[in-house]
Structure 1
Amino acid sequence: MDYIRTADALLEEMRSRSGEWDWLRRHIMPHTQADADQEENPAADNRRLHSTVACESLHVLAGAHLMYITPTGQQWFSLKSGREGNDKRSRYDEWFAKATEITHKALANSNFYTVIHQCFLDRCLTGTGCVFCDTLPDGSLNFTHIPTGTYAIAEGRNKIVDTLARLFKLTPHQAVEQFGADKLPQKIKDAWEDPKRRYTEKHQYLHLVIPRPGADFGHDLVNPLKMKWASVYLAWGSDKTVIQEGGYNEFPFLVTRFLRFGESPYGYAPGMNVKEEIKATLKLERVMDVLGEVAAFPRIMMLADQVGEIDMRAGGRTVVKQNAVSANMPREWATSGRYDVGKDRIEDKEEKIRQAYYVPMLQVISSVDRQMTATEVNAREGEKVLTFSPSMTLFVFDCNTLINRAFSVLFRQGKFPTADMPDELVVQDQGGSEDFEIKIPSVSYNGKISQAIERAQRNGGDYYIQNALAYTQATNDPSMLEIVDMRKYARFLYENSGAPMDCLLSEDKLQKLDEQRAAAAQQQTQLEAMQGAAKAGRDMAAAQQAAQS
């Protein structure tokens, strides 16, 4: 495969969209740089080109991603069996619960939450965010944020991103450490041998990850050149050369889009809906600045012969001639302006910017000026998360790739329990070797948006049970309660409460508990029967004795 031509084509398509990304960065969040060559110390006239309201709204929306989708310290997703209606599913629930906790712990011990916040900022700013998932030398997970504008993507037929080419820079020291000196171009070797250039000079590289046709079956021990995704590093200078080729069993990038628009694989940013408002706000602010300066330091009109005679100091005195008095000179000139009208127009446009970033719906509940009941709190929380749910749903679709990657890495490292491992996860090599392929389990998301949906299910279940209890108490007919599997409903409530899964009894222990209860009930029945028979014997003997007397 011609990797260079493929990468060039992908990057060319990406650059066709870089104009709107640059505009969004410049006018909303100018310190986010897609490339190190951008101006680090902008001139004074370029420092007021961004909207502070848009920047604040962007941070609110990105913070809502962390709060409602990937909350730190909470289990925001769960691994589940992919076999619906299987008898073994309940048996494996405990294994999947432990695997979920192990995966969350691995993410918490890595730099995931720091990097995902940077990804969310890009997702809300440019409409597309990207994270690279790999491992450190000790095997722990490691994540890298890939800024928008430095990578190009392509999708498979299912609209999932499966191809990515990214540009990045390394010093000669970093390049030799990562790739070794043998395959590097001569100019990079020369820079590495120069102590003055080894740690300061930077060269550009390209990493291309693309599906490999006819990939072999197997795990990490299989030849990397036959894995499902080809991983190619190229020195992307004047002489584009391949310096390393390997592979991945899973696509190692999370590429998440805020909203989809048309056939483009890139996302649609919320700021695109308010570009005119942002530009108008910036223009009005400049006008208002001028108006405020004029009000504080008014323009003065004077006669030509008064130049140098006007005292502008506080309490200063200016002596004028009679002809100047007749001409009403000096006097303020062109200082009138409606500051209140300009302020109202700015506020109207700023409100539209906040609405584009969902800020009114994401305001904290504590800002309400009265005490709310628990019902009102749940209702307002539900309104917020359900309004935000379309973007969350798209993130769930995109994030499956990242969770599958993390799960597979931990699985191959032997981090999960080996006892009662679900057989559905491992697909053995048809050739009979020890090589295997991991079949990814289902993923259930437990963020606040998913919790709002599950809360509605829970409220419906509680409503039914309350009515069933009332009916049973009134009629002594248990038929309404008998149709509900109370143990399954109790497990649903427990799993969605956020309580630790280690405290939940496994199905095997519950089965033993049922057997113990059945045995105890049987013993009790036998004891009552024996006691009844003994009492009947005593009553009969007493009756016979009474008859004889």
Structure 2
Amino acid sequence: MANTLLADDTAQDPSADKPAQSGGNAKPIKTRKELHLQRWYALKSERSSWIREWKEISEVLLPRAGRFFVEDRNRGNRRNQKIFDSTATKSLRVLGAGLMAGATSPARPWIALKTPYRELNKKQAVKVWCAEVTKLILDVFNRSNVYRSLHSMYEEIGAFGTAVSIIMQDFNDVIRMYPLTAGEYAISTNDKGEVDTLYREFQLTVAQLVKKFGYENCSENARRMYDSGNLDVWRTVLHIIEPNEDRDPSKSDARNMAWTSTYLELGGSSDSQQTSNQATTGGDNATLSVSGFKKFRVVAPRWATFGGDIYGSGPASDALGDIRQLQHEQLRKGQAIDKMTNPPLQAPTSLKNHDFDGLPGGLSYVDSATPQGGIRTLYDVNLRLDYLLQDIQDVRQRIKSAFYEDLFLMLANNVNSNMTATEVAELHEEKMLMLGPVIERLHDELLKPLVDAAFDILAEAGLLPPPPPDLQGMTLQVEFISILAQAMKQIGTNSIDKFVMALGGIATMQINAGQQPTVMDNFDTDGWYETYADAQGVDPAINVDPDERDQARAARAKAQQQAQQQAQMQQAAETAKTAAQAPTQGGASNVLSDVMSNLTGYTQ
């Protein structure tokens, strides 16, 4: 995790509108503005095959999500006409809340910074510093809009398979995220399949445009509107973040960052609608600002990708057929109930201009003299609602399963009150195997870049505590200790638990047989502690410094050795005393007097 300098996003580049370099050919040289617009239309064309499915998902799942026309903003008109059963929407809410609580809960730590080296991570100074920085990053996330943005991204990725957010430096909150919705952006990937390009089309009012980019950088048309007081007229803006292929690595100004960040005001002329030729060639579009980033400050997680797909496919795509069927069945059920309770009628023509009372207890006069007289139903509707309800319930269950509702509400929906802890653990393990690949992708494409951006911004602002000498020149890596990450690690700890229990059983058998528990010679208790604490995400503050632990053990062993030596010396003294007082020669003398008697001749 390296420190990154984030350029000012409003730094104007005077060379933004200069023609791009050509290869010496005679073809007209296009300006950067024209190249940007050319690529924008190419990316929109590439994205067009996904729009139809996104629109349908939006209609039956998230009516307020999705912006498929640039004018689709701040529209309060009703959009849920195609939703007759909200099961899918509720299941998506459960998925979003489950990922939020399980992967990035604001109420508990979900990341831990470490070095790639196991022995270095054992040093207490390194542990404490990493823990302090981790708490600082989480505190920044709590103070900013990060968690609100992550929740909306989880719902977005569950619905459309792809979620995108821009990460920006903020003066008040340190970091701020700008989540986007399907239809308002287009992305592209590099040769490794990693998202490295974002084009976003959105709208700002004239007042917002002037405040954000400055009066002098706006188009002539926008300036005239501002001067005349038309502050709430919407203007279309194109934001571009892409690799800077023309950069000079030896420079660090706006034009030579690894990624460029460019804002264009589209339709800068007095005409509200540009011609297609103007839009393609750049026309009167104004360059609002050009700046850059040293790292790609866009997170674009995808639920799952196949082949060379740029955009992802999520649970809503898998469940779309079931969602259609559920809405269709609910619609037909309502129509059938209406026809059974208020059926269509047929009556003789003689009643055409007569009053007819169809309410309960109503009275209508008809001429029944003819065989065709009277009023009767046009046709009979005999729908078996019990069969239909059974099928609806089956479809609902399939939708809930597609959105992993059974995983996140596993214990709440469990009717077996006698389930043991072992059964719960095994059930968790089974479910986590299903969600594991998604969590890994979220870690790689969303959470690691987010933590990396926060670390870089804090380092640039000088808000990080000074690192210990052991960390000089060392890289850091992010380890996830969220509930879902730990649940995945629990798959490994379950096997450790079983092993320890079996080992303890063998040791007990040896002790009961009067033998030494030699099987324990194969067990490293310190290794078990470190592995288990790491898997459980234990706060290093409660761990003892390994050096202090070893010193305490050495002192304890020394004290035990001294105590043992003292006991041996005391025992030897007692033995000598007892032997000296032991009677000999029928009790007339003792051992000590006999020894002295034998040595008498040597004293002369």
Bucket of the pairwise TM-score, normalised by the shorter protein? 0.7 to 0.9
Q: Distance in 2 between matches of 1:217 and 1:469?
A: 61
Amino-acid identity (%) = 21
1:194 aligns with 2:194: no
Higher mean C-alpha displacement, 391-400 vs 255-264:
391-400
Q: What letter matches 2:39 in structure 1?
A: T
* 8 Å contact kept, 2:66–2:183: no
1:457 aligns with 2:502: no
* 8 Å contact kept, 1:278–1:353: yes
Task: Describe how 1:374-385 pairs up with structure 2 within 5 A.
Answer: 374-385=421-432
SS of structure 1 residue aligned to 2:109: coil
Q: Distance in 1 between matches of 2:398 and 2:565?
A: 79
State the structure with more CA Rg: 2
Q: Distance in 2 between matches of 1:159 and 1:248?
A: 20
Q: Per-residue deviation at 1:424?
A: 6.4
**Residues 385, 216 of structure 1: alpha-carbon distance in 2 compared, 3 angstrom cutoff:** farther
* 8 Å contact kept, 1:259–1:268: yes
1:519 aligns with 2:551: no
**Residues 548, 492 of structure 1: alpha-carbon distance in 2 compared, 3 angstrom cutoff:** closer
**Residues 455, 344 of structure 1: alpha-carbon distance in 2 compared, 3 angstrom cutoff:** closer
Q: What letter matches 2:378 in structure 1?
A: W
**Structure 1 equivalent of residue 236 of structure 2:** 204
SS of structure 1 residue aligned to 2:300: strand
**Structure 2 equivalent of residue 431 of structure 1:** none
**Structure 2 equivalent of residue 435 of structure 1:** none
Which residue of the other structure, out of 138, 143, 148, is the alignment partner of 1:109? 143
* 8 Å contact kept, 1:28–1:50: no
Q: Per-residue deviation at 1:129?
A: 0.5
Q: What letter matches 2:404 in structure 1?
A: Y
Q: Per-residue deviation at 1:114?
A: 0.9
* 8 Å contact kept, 1:4–1:240: no
Which residue of the other structure, out of 391, 396, 409, is the alignment partner of 1:363? 409
Task: Describe how 1:51-66 pairs up with structure 2 within 5 A.
Answer: 52-66=86-100
Higher mean C-alpha displacement, 530-539 vs 235-244:
530-539
Q: Distance in 2 between matches of 1:335 and 1:460?
A: 63
Q: Per-residue deviation at 1:36?
A: 6.0
Higher mean C-alpha displacement, 35-44 vs 409-418:
35-44
* 8 Å contact kept, 1:130–1:256: yes
**Residues 457, 281 of structure 1: alpha-carbon distance in 2 compared, 3 angstrom cutoff:** closer
Residues 444-487 of structure 1 show CA distances to partners (whole Å, capped at 9, x for unaligned) of: 22233332232222222223233333434516556543444422
**Residues 178, 504 of structure 1: alpha-carbon distance in 2 compared, 3 angstrom cutoff:** farther
Higher mean C-alpha displacement, 14-23 vs 255-264:
14-23
Residues 234-261 of structure 1 show CA distances to partners (whole Å, capped at 9, x for unaligned) of: 2233522322111112211110111112
Paired residues, number: 525
When the two chains are superposed, the root-mean-square deviation of aligned CA atoms in Å is: 2.9
**Residues 109, 494 of structure 1: alpha-carbon distance in 2 compared, 3 angstrom cutoff:** farther
Q: Which runs of 5+ in 2 are unaligned?
A: 1-19, 21-31, 269-283, 582-589, 594-604
Q: Distance in 1 between matches of 2:432 and 2:527?
A: 27
**Structure 1 equivalent of residue 360 of structure 2:** 314
**Structure 2 equivalent of residue 436 of structure 1:** none
Which residue of the other structure, out of 418, 440, 458, is the alignment partner of 1:410? 458
**Structure 2 equivalent of residue 233 of structure 1:** 263
Q: Distance in 2 between matches of 1:451 and 1:491?
A: 15
SS of structure 2 residue aligned to 1:57: helix
Q: Per-residue deviation at 1:194?
A: 3.2
**Structure 2 equivalent of residue 338 of structure 1:** 383
**Residues 519, 290 of structure 1: alpha-carbon distance in 2 compared, 3 angstrom cutoff:** closer
Task: Describe how 1:343-492 pairs up with structure 2 within 5 A.
Answer: 343-371=389-417, 372-399=419-446, 400-420=448-468, 423=471, 439=475, 441-473=476-508, 474=510, 477=516, 480-492=519-531
1:547 aligns with 2:594: no
SS of structure 2 residue aligned to 1:29: coil
Q: Per-residue deviation at 1:266?
A: 0.5
Residues 152-205 of structure 1 show CA distances to partners (whole Å, capped at 9, x for unaligned) of: 11112322211111122222222222221221111112222233x22x222121
Q: What letter matches 2:359 in structure 1?
A: R
Q: Per-residue deviation at 1:131?
A: 1.7
* 8 Å contact kept, 1:98–1:501: no
Higher mean C-alpha displacement, 309-318 vs 169-178:
309-318
**Residues 261, 204 of structure 1: alpha-carbon distance in 2 compared, 3 angstrom cutoff:** same
Q: What letter matches 1:15 in structure 2?
A: S
* 8 Å contact kept, 1:15–1:149: no
Which residue of the other structure, out of 296, 310, 314, is the alignment partner of 1:265? 310
**Structure 2 equivalent of residue 434 of structure 1:** none
**Structure 2 equivalent of residue 14 of structure 1:** 47
Which residue of the other structure, out of 163, 182, 206, is the alignment partner of 1:148? 182
**Structure 2 equivalent of residue 26 of structure 1:** 59
**Structure 1 equivalent of residue 165 of structure 2:** 131
SS of structure 2 residue aligned to 1:206: strand
Higher mean C-alpha displacement, 203-212 vs 270-279:
270-279
* 8 Å contact kept, 1:155–1:163: yes
Which residue of the other structure, out of 180, 199, 219, is the alignment partner of 2:214? 180
Q: What letter matches 1:514 in structure 2?
A: D
1:297 aligns with 2:332: no
1:37 aligns with 2:71: yes
Q: Distance in 2 between matches of 1:356 and 1:95?
A: 42
Residues 295-327 of structure 1 show CA distances to partners (whole Å, capped at 9, x for unaligned) of: 222222211112314332332223333425x33
SS of structure 1 residue aligned to 2:116: coil
Q: What letter matches 1:287 in structure 2?
A: R
* 8 Å contact kept, 1:28–1:51: no
**Structure 2 equivalent of residue 429 of structure 1:** none
Q: Per-residue deviation at 1:25?
A: 0.6
Q: Distance in 2 between matches of 1:155 and 1:421?
A: 39
Q: Per-residue deviation at 1:223?
A: 2.8
Q: Distance in 2 between matches of 1:281 and 1:531?
A: 84
**Residues 480, 96 of structure 1: alpha-carbon distance in 2 compared, 3 angstrom cutoff:** farther
* 8 Å contact kept, 1:231–1:246: yes
Q: Per-residue deviation at 1:115?
A: 0.8
**Residues 274, 240 of structure 1: alpha-carbon distance in 2 compared, 3 angstrom cutoff:** same
Residues 255-278 of structure 1 show CA distances to partners (whole Å, capped at 9, x for unaligned) of: 011111231211013232343433
Q: Distance in 2 between matches of 1:49 and 1:519?
A: 73
Higher mean C-alpha displacement, 244-253 vs 331-340:
331-340
Which residue of the other structure, out of 262, 280, 284, is the alignment partner of 2:329? 284
* 8 Å contact kept, 2:84–2:331: no
SS of structure 2 residue aligned to 1:208: strand
* 8 Å contact kept, 2:84–2:330: no
Task: Return the TM-score normalized by structure 2.
Answer: 0.79
SS of structure 2 residue aligned to 1:312: coil
Residues 506-546 of structure 1 show CA distances to partners (whole Å, capped at 9, x for unaligned) of: x3xx3134224313432442354355335535643664564
* 8 Å contact kept, 2:493–2:535: no
**Structure 1 equivalent of residue 6 of structure 2:** none
Task: Return the TM-score normalized by structure 1.
Answer: 0.86
* 8 Å contact kept, 1:127–1:258: yes
**Residues 481, 166 of structure 1: alpha-carbon distance in 2 compared, 3 angstrom cutoff:** farther
* 8 Å contact kept, 2:199–2:239: yes
Q: What letter matches 2:264 in structure 1?
A: L
SS of structure 1 residue aligned to 2:122: helix
Q: What letter matches 2:443 in structure 1?
A: V
Q: Distance in 1 between matches of 2:521 and 2:135?
A: 34
**Structure 1 equivalent of residue 602 of structure 2:** none
